[in-house]
């Protein structure tokens, strides 16, 4: 399957879930126009409280739509946007991407993957048990976070559901994603 944008979401407030939108306008260095997490410096409330001058490595949140399929099969009633992502993808193993991977989305937009989303207890407030459901262990016993990835906007542009996603892996040694 060719990687595509399945749906897009934004919220002007720091709400947990983000309603669907017909398109997103990405702005280089800032994030998504009209989204509460847009900005050159951190916008997530917990991070602002720690150090508001940190660069915002969480301008765009992506979740693979296949995660929703898995969660629904396990009895969780959850749909795209409800876990707070801006972009829901299909056909792309986003969790396997290395840091600094560039995703070309639609005609113009380019985002760069910065790291993993660290699931928080708000997931359990939304659906009891959901936080544990988005955590797993690999063969070595290491914790695996399934709740999506974060990115920054390198080149702005409009993106819409149905837009293709082209992957440009970083040159040189590849670094696994870590929590940002």
Q: Which domain holds residue 105?
A: 4-168
Q: Is 29 a domain residue?
A: yes
Q: Is 180 a domain residue?
A: no
Q: Is 16 a domain residue?
A: yes
**CATH code at 79?**
2.40.33.20
Taking all residues of the chain, what is their mean pLDDT, rounded to a whole number?
A: 95
Q: Is 148 a domain residue?
A: yes
Closest CA to 101 of 28, 45, 151, 42: 151
Instruction: Tell me if the pTM is above 0.85.
Output: yes
Q: Is 177 a domain residue?
A: no
pLDDT tens column, 117-171 = 999 889 999 999 999 999 999 999 999 999 999 999 999 999 999 999 999 999 9
Q: Is 175 a domain residue?
A: no
Q: Tell me the three state secondary structure of residue 96.
A: helix
β strands within the chain, DSSP E:
4-9, 20-21, 24-27, 31-32, 60-64, 87-90, 102-105, 109-116, 135-137, 143-145, 149-155, 157-159, 165-168
Q: Is 112 a domain residue?
A: yes
pLDDT the model gives residue 44: 79
> How many structural domains is the chain composed of?
1
* Burial degree of 15 (CB within 10 A; 0-12, 13-18, 19+): exposed
R_g (Cα) of the chain, nearest Å = 15
Q: Is 107 a domain residue?
A: yes
CB 36 within 8 A of CB 21: no
DSSP state of 178: -
């Amino acid at each position: 399957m060719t990687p595509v944008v399945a749906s897009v979401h934004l919220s002007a407030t720091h709400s947990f879930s983000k309603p669907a939108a017909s398109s997103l306008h990405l702005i280089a260095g800032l994030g998504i126009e009209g989204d509460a997490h847009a900005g050159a410096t951190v916008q997530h409330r917990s991070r602002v409280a720690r150090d508001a001058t940190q660069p915002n490595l969480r301008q765009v949140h992506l979740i693979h739509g296949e995660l929703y399929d898995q969660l629904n099969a396990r009895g969780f009633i959850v749909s795209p946007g409800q876990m707070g992502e801006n972009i829901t993808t299909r056909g792309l193993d986003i969790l396997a991407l290395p840091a600094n991977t560039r995703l070309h989305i639609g005609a113009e937009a380019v985002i760069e993957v910065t790291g993993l989303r660290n699931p928080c207890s708000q997931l359990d407030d939304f659906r009891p048990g959901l936080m544990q459901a988005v955590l797993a262990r690999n063969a070595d016993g290491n914790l695996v976070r399934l709740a999506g990835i974060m990115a920054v906007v390198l080149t702005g542009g409009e993106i819409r559901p149905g837009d293709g996603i082209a992957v440009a892996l970083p040159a040189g040694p590849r670094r696994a994603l870590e929590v940002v």
